[in-house]
């Protein structure tokens, strides 16, 4: 699974007129924050992404001052400034020494709310050098369209040629060997490189139905002011851990003792694909009782994240409570409002993330989970045995089809 994401932030933004006279387009404010912040926040949801490169051009110094050598959750951010306008392909070639073998590539002026890891999963084992995410059906005359043969891109249609159909959403999973296709500077990925790859059968695409918006023209820039924050309010599924995601063998803390419940990883991917946040809220009294330490909890959760990434899934946030009033470790021997049946871990997620209460739910395996959910104002569902994905699927609503 790619550990690097690269964002193109070098365009002039000339269609936005005076708005970009003194500010690069991705740094224009949407609902009080730079648009680029929303793109970075979305990438930071994925624990597998360790590094983010911003390829800057126009007013690159402003991008560097705001983002270089910063972090978003577990991902480090670096800014690479091109010395001249090289185009989207040229910017990539200029930064080639910093690119990993496989990476995600995104346009910094668009936002596509889909499961990024699913794109990498679809690219796995393919000989194509670039896999692009498509918005399956985006109306509007200003978009070019793509013609597919299965997943192979066979033709690009000019803007205005069709009123609807799939469009390039500006998100790609890229093999570093694509650099060999960039022969001249400046160079455009969209106009030069991608048609070359398509002619060789090395460009594939995967359609998604998720929310898409770019801020390249005034009308969509204003639409983003109204719609983006609302779309970022997602419902969430809160998973208890032991007994729901893994077989409860009492105080599981070693990787060799961890056994996934059937359908557990698939249930988390289902949440990701349907646009839900996925959170883990787990009591870990074994820390207070001295059976294992905090580092063991983190190590196991990091391993779980790697296991999930392998099937295109991720957990947005792991919340755990190490406290117990009967603990033997002094630092953790106390009552806590984060320990279920108290709702503290759920409440902390609701405060830290833009969660939509409507549609959110918890899946637990005992009554204290249900009590905690009720206290936090969300429904709780008891899971006993069987396939967790099959249990969860009828409880969720496809957010793309529901608008």
Q: Closest by alpha carbon to 308, among 389, 363, 253, 382?
A: 389
Q: Out of 240, 316, 317, 369, which one is annotated catalytic?
A: 240
- Inter-residue contact 47 to 74 (CB < 8 Å): yes
**Sign of the C-alpha dihedral computed for residues 221, 225, 227 and 230 taken in this order:** positive
Active site residue 240: yes
Q: Closest by alpha carbon to 364, among 244, 273, 187?
A: 244
Copy the structure tokens of residue 360: 């959110």
Q: Closest by alpha carbon to 171, among 239, 106, 267?
A: 106
- Inter-residue contact 338 to 348 (CB < 8 Å): yes
Active site residue 365: no
State the Cα–Cα distance between residues 103 and 92, nearest whole angstrom.
Answer: 12
Copy the structure tokens of residue 58: 């126009």
Q: Out of 109, 214, 220, 242, which one is annotated catalytic?
A: 242
Residue found by looking up tokens 């961890």 in the block:
258
Instruction: Tell me: cis bond preceding 197? Omega within 30 of 0 counts.
Output: no
Element holding 147 (H helix, E strand)? strand 145-149
- Inter-residue contact 131 to 205 (CB < 8 Å): yes
Residues designated as active site: 240, 242
């Amino acid at each position: 699974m790619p550990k690097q994401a690269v964002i193109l932030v070098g365009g002039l933004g000339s269609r936005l007129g005076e708005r970009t006279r003194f500010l690069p387009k991705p740094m224009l404010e949407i609902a009080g924050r730079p648009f680029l912040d929303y793109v970075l926040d979305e990438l930071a949801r994925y624990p597998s992404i360790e590094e983010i490169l911003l390829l800057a051009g126009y007013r690159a110094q402003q991008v560097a001052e705001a983002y270089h050598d910063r972090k978003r959750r577990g991902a480090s951010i670096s800014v690479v400034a091109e010395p001249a306008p090289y185009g989207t392909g040229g910017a990539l070639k200029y930064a080639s020494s910093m690119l990993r073998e496989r990476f995600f590539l995104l346009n910094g002026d668009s936002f596509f709310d889909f499961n990024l890891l699913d794109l990498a999963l679809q690219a796995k084992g393919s000989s194509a050098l670039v896999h692009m995410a498509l918005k399956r059906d985006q109306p509007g005359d200003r978009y070019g369209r793509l013609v597919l043969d299965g997943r192979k891109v066979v033709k690009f249609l000019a803007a205005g040629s069709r009123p609807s159909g799939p469009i390039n959403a500006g998100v790609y999973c890229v093999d570093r060997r694509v650099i060999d296709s960039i022969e001249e500077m400046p160079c455009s990925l969209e106009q030069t490189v991608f048609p070359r790859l398509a002619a060789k059968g090395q460009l594939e695409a995967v359609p998604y139905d998720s929310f898409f918006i770019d801020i390249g023209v005034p009308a969509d820039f204003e639409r983003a002011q109204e719609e983006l924050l609302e779309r970022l309010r997602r419902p969430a599924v809160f998973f208890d851990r032991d007994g729901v995601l893994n077989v409860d063998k009492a105080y599981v803390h070693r990787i060799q003792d961890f056994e996934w419940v059937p359908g557990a990883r698939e249930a988390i991917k289902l949440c990701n694909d349907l646009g839900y946040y996925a959170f883990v809220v787990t009591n870990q009294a074994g820390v207070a009782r001295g059976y294992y330490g905090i580092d063991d909890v983190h190590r196991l959760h990091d391993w779980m994240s790697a296991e999930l990434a392998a099937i295109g899934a991720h957990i947005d946030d792991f919340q755990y409570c190490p406290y117990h009033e009967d603990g033997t470790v002094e630092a953790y021997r106390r009552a806590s409002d984060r320990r279920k049946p108290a709702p503290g871990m759920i409440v902390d997620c609701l405060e830290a993330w833009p969660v939509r209460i409507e549609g959110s739910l918890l899946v637990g395996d005992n009554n204290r989970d249900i009590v905690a959910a009720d206290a936090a104002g969300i429904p709780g569902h008891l899971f006993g045995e069987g396939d967790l994905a099959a249990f969860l699927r009828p409880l969720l609503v496809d957010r793309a089809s529901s608008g």
